[in-house]
Amino acid sequence: MNREMEELASKAAECARDARHQAALLPEGPIRDALLEKAKQYEAEIPADPTYTAAAQCRTDWGATS
């Protein structure tokens, strides 16, 4: 993976974590659902690379209660 792809993957992982964190602070509802959907979209942009398995772990640890 080249440097540019690594930076993009890292940014996507960071955005996914941020969206999940924000969603975890909200009560159930459309805004929370939209943030969780956005997190899924960011996670879909992360390439299948062992370097980013931590991002996948965050997905199971944060806010996936609905």
**Rounded percentage of the chain residues whose pLDDT exceeds 70:** 71
> Taking the model in full, what pTM does it have?
0.69
Higher-scoring residue by pLDDT: 61, 47: 47
* Residue 61 scores a pLDDT above 70: no
CA distance 16 to 45: 10
Q: Is the separation of the CB atoms in 2 and 41 below 8 Å? A: no
- Cα 27 from chain centroid (whole Å): 19
- Neighbour-count burial for 35-65, b at 16+ CB within 10 Å, e otherwise: bbebbeebbeebeeeeebeebeebbeebbee
CA distance 53 to 24: 21
